[in-house]
Amino acid sequence: MRYGSSLLPSLALSLPNNMGSRRWSLLCIALILLVGVSSYEQSMGGSILGWGEQGEGELFAYPRNAPSCPSTDQSLYYLPVIGIVTHPGDGASGRLSNATGVSNIPASYVKFVESAGARVIPLIFNEPEETLREKLSLVNGVLFTGGWAKKGLYYETIKRVFEITLERNDAGDHFPLFAICLGFELLSMIISKDRDICERFQGENQASALYFPDFAEIQGSVFERFPRELLRKLSTDCLAMQNHKFGLSPKRLQDNDALASFFRILTTSKDENDKVYISTAQAYNYPVTAFQWHPEKNAFEWGLSVIPHSEDAVRVTQHVANYFISEARRSLNRPLADKVLDNLIYNYSPTYCGRAGKGYDEVYIFS
């Protein structure tokens, strides 16, 4: 039974003169409230308490005119996988393993990728090229980590993966590459064909700001979706973790035709001696972004006291990771699920090395 507004006059007339008790007053108030709720429900086409045509006890039922969820962009791939190339050694200066051929991935890079909604397949640098190519066919982007190795098989593997990255993009895929710290230095060497293109800098164990040159255009870059206030802080506060002995100066890039035609400078930074180096660069014609700094450390590494861990610093990590994986979702690659599962880093366990290592909290070790 629904109560209409016509009930109120008759209710008032039927009140006995001697019924002024508190109980009767409360009953009248309850009936008036019920009338108001009923009228509101009729006007809104639903039930504000959750009881309606969908059945009693269904709390928080949607009104009849609730919008449906929009369909997803079918051109994007929502199961992206990133290949991370392993680095020689155990990540702890031999304290965890001295085995021949051992390699590692710091867990911070894995967490960095996973935090933005992707999974990781390790690309073990000293596996046969056939195996490397098979794993590359399962991923939607690649990441080169920091480290120290600049020659031998590791250099050749990085070079081969870079060449395959360009081939994939030239063939019509959108296949992004992030090169961090050593990764940037190796790309500079490979593109310039000059093993000595990088210079020495005093950039170890320090946080810095990122300077955006007047000619830097951030549209379409990793910084495009940064809030303006965070970009301002990034250029004035020390929110970028630096940890390198080498780097590429703007002059070295501009004087090398191959580098100047491949990379545009997004940001520069200064080392302890006020010497300027390129801290972020992006390819003109490929989804390749290079960082001399470490965007992954702010949120996921704790071994060095100078790593910035403020809310703004963590936001920087999140925005950079989100950009990378948003690029990976544009990949046309749709690998078979079973093959992906067989090769995911979930098949391995990280090792805690915060006490034994030199700055990494956890590493994945491959032997």
Helix (H) / strand (E) containing 169? helix 152-170
Catalytic residue of the set 174, 244, 294, 319: 294
- Distance from C-alpha of 219 to C-alpha of 224, rounded to nearest angstrom: 5
In sequence order, the 6+-apart residues with CB closer than 8 A to the CB of 276 are: 249, 250, 268, 269, 270
Give me 365's structure tokens. 């070790």
Please indicate whether residue 353 is annotated as part of the active site: no
- DSSP 8-state assignment for residue 346: G
CA 4/CA 34 separation, integer angstroms: 9
Catalytic annotation present for 69: no
SS3 sequence of 266-307: EEEEECCCCCEEEEEEEECCCCEEEECCCCCHHHHCCCCCCC
Alpha helix segments (H runs only) across the chain? 7-13, 22-44, 107-114, 129-136, 152-170, 182-192, 228-236, 250-255, 257-262, 297-300, 311-328, 337-343
CA dist., res. 245 & res. 210, Å (int): 18
β-strands 240-247, 263-270 pairing: unpaired
Distance of CA 162 to the CA centre of its chain: 21
Q: What is the DSSP letter of 200?
A: E
CB 173 within 8 Å of CB 140: no
Could you tell me the two tokens for 298? 């702010």
Can you give the length of the chain in residues?
Answer: 367
Q: Is the dihedral of CA 165, 166, 170, 176 positive or negative?
A: positive
Q: Which two tokens stand for residue 337?
A: 């699920």
| In contact, 247 and 278? CB cutoff 8 Å | yes
Which amino acid makes up residue 175?
A: F
The active-site residue out of 87, 174, 181, 319 is 181
Catalytic positions: 181, 294
